[in-house]
Amino acid sequence: MFNIIVAVSSNYVIGSENAIPWNCKEDMKYFRKITSTPLVEGMENAIIMGYNTWKSIGRVLPNRLNIVIDRNAPEGGMVDEGHTCLVYVKNFEEALLQCCKGQGIFVIGGGKIYREALEHSGLDKVYLTKIFKKVDGDVTFPRLKDKFKLIDVTQGVDKDDLKLEFRVYERTDKKHEEYQYLERIDEIMRDGEVCSDRTGVGTKSMWGVQMTYDISENFPLLTTKRTFLRVIIEELLWFLRGSTNNKELRDKNVHIWDGNMSREYLDRIGLKNRAVDDGGPIYGFNFRHFGAEYKDCHTDYTGQGYDQVAEVLRMIKEEPDSRRILINLWNPCTLRDMVLPPCHFCYHFRVYGDRLSCAMVQRSGDMGLGVPFNIASATLMTYIFAHLTGKKPWRLVHTIHDSHVYLNHVEPLQKQIKRVPYPFPKMKLVDRGQTCVEDFKLEDFELLGYDSYPAIKMKMAV
């Protein structure tokens, strides 16, 4: 088994005219540490490189066996007369034969050698430094896709506050979980029932879809299109605070509720006396004040109604074996007062030992726009609840009753489902000693190791 180690720019450039197009001291320190630390005590690691990479380095790297792939080398390899730790070989397979069993082996470049190594069955891990700077160059590194899993990522900073991520990927035979989402969309578009709907746009619909995500290590933020996490976080925190005032979101430059709280929309659904930006007893109100009498979005409801969030947190800590740790957002008595009845109406939590899982149920799921948000939001809620109760997040089970594709989303979704997913990123919650959901803010959520395809524009139906 061998590994790859590589540094890439934001646009995955690794070289320009046989040279590294940056001078990044922190990455060089990381490179030395990873490639010089023996896997077996007393046995030096081996580094494999192409001839152009060797020439650009210009010297033997100490404390490692340097193996250079040179098509002019003799069969079986040739040890350099002046350096016993420098060997020339004809091809990649011969390079591997020069290494001993149990020895740490790292492929360090260049572009052609990297590509051959990525396709080799012996590849174990990829150590990838992402340098968040766009550069010009003539050699790039392939973006890792569904055959790899992100297992570790740490952040770093170089001179001039240049942001770095030190990522470790592991090859995996497990099917990427994003395919659940892509395959359901494909199935709906092929076999779904054509239906009319309240928006007048029309859908293709399928009844009863379920997807399961392992959220214990990786964060299921879709990679086949750019998904803007800031908006998802701000909306979730808005819900958990119990707010129904859209102005709080607009002040944070979040506009996903604007269409449902405009004067035109409110008048159209019969809420002519409702002020613009007042959502009525929607998600946040039922999270924190279920059953209270709703007046408007400015009223202080402290101590009124049933605080489902507080009760769930209490039960996770005090009654972890309960099968009744549940948040219900569907209140039939107030549906007509809402700008939009809840689509995701039930969150059911289960504790097994120190692990916390969540099952989210949706009556209706807009697969193109809404569902990617719902997956990420439910995962974030589970992370927050786990953080506040000393648990570890484990599974997310996502059930959608009417899962549908709006007809005006078919063309962009046909483009999206052809994309091969990148590895899911990781989510780090900054521990500031938060004791309640109100203590969390946007800056507490650090998304690490996220690569995605470009965003795909789809118009929201209202």
Topology of domain 178-448, CATH: Thymidylate Synthase; Chain A (3.30.572)
Q: How many whole angstroms separate alpha carbon 64 and alpha carbon 49? A: 12
Candidates 24, 297, 343, 358; catalytic one = 343
- Homologous superfamily (CATH) of 2-171 is Dihydrofolate Reductase, subunit A (3.40.430.10)
Beta strands in 10-96 (DSSP E): 13-15, 45-50, 64-69, 78-80, 83-89
Angle between helix 229-240 and 370-389 (nearest 10): 60
Range(s) of the chain covered by CATH 3.40.430.10: 2-171
- State residue 445's pLDDT score: 98
Nearest residue to 372 (alpha-carbon basis) of 206, 189, 229, 174: 229
Nearest residue to 135 (alpha-carbon basis) of 4, 224, 17, 5: 17
Return the residue matching tokens 């099917």. 175
Range(s) of the chain covered by CATH 3.30.572.10: 178-448
Nearest residue to 154 (alpha-carbon basis) of 60, 258, 33: 33
- State residue 344's pLDDT score: 97
Please give the single-letter amino acid code of residue 327: I
Entry pTM: 0.94
Q: How many whole angstroms separate alpha carbon 124 and alpha carbon 169? A: 9
Please give the single-letter amino acid code of residue 123: L
Please give the single-letter amino acid code of residue 16: S
Nearest residue to 220 (alpha-carbon basis) of 413, 371, 14: 371
Q: How many whole angstroms separate alpha carbon 49 and alpha carbon 53? A: 6
Nearest residue to 177 (alpha-carbon basis) of 129, 215, 230: 215
Q: How many whole angstroms separate alpha carbon 372 and alpha carbon 323? A: 27
- State residue 298's pLDDT score: 97
Return the residue matching tokens 């992370």. 383
Q: Which residues contact 349 (CB under 8 A, 6 or more apart)?
A: 312, 316, 325, 326, 356, 357, 358, 359, 382, 385
Helix H or strand E segment including 392:
strand 392-406
Helix H or strand E segment including 304:
none
Please give the single-letter amino acid code of residue 131: I
Q: DSSP 3-state assignment of 398?
A: strand
Please give the single-letter amino acid code of residue 115: R
Q: How many whole angstroms separate alpha carbon 239 and alpha carbon 256? A: 13
Which residues of the chain fall short of a pLDDT of 50? none
β-strands 203-214, 193-195 pairing: antiparallel
227 half-sphere exposure, CB direction, 13 A CA radius: 27
Cα separation values, 119 from 97, 130, 149, Å: 17, 21, 16
Give the pair of three-digit tokens for residue 462.
């209202």
User: What is the longest distance spanned by two Cα atoms in the chain?
Assistant: 90
Using CB atoms within 10 A of its CB, is residue 425 exposed (0-12), middle (13-18) or buried (19+)? buried
DSSP one-letter code for 280: -
CA 177 to chain CA centroid, nearest Å: 11
Q: How many whole angstroms separate alpha carbon 6 and alpha carbon 77? A: 25
Cα separation values, 6 from 9, 21, 142, Å: 10, 13, 11
DSSP 233-274: HHHHHHHHTT--BHHHHHTTT--TTGGGSSHHHHHHTT-TTS
- State residue 288's pLDDT score: 98
**343 is known as an active-site residue:** yes
β-strands 139-140, 13-15 pairing: antiparallel
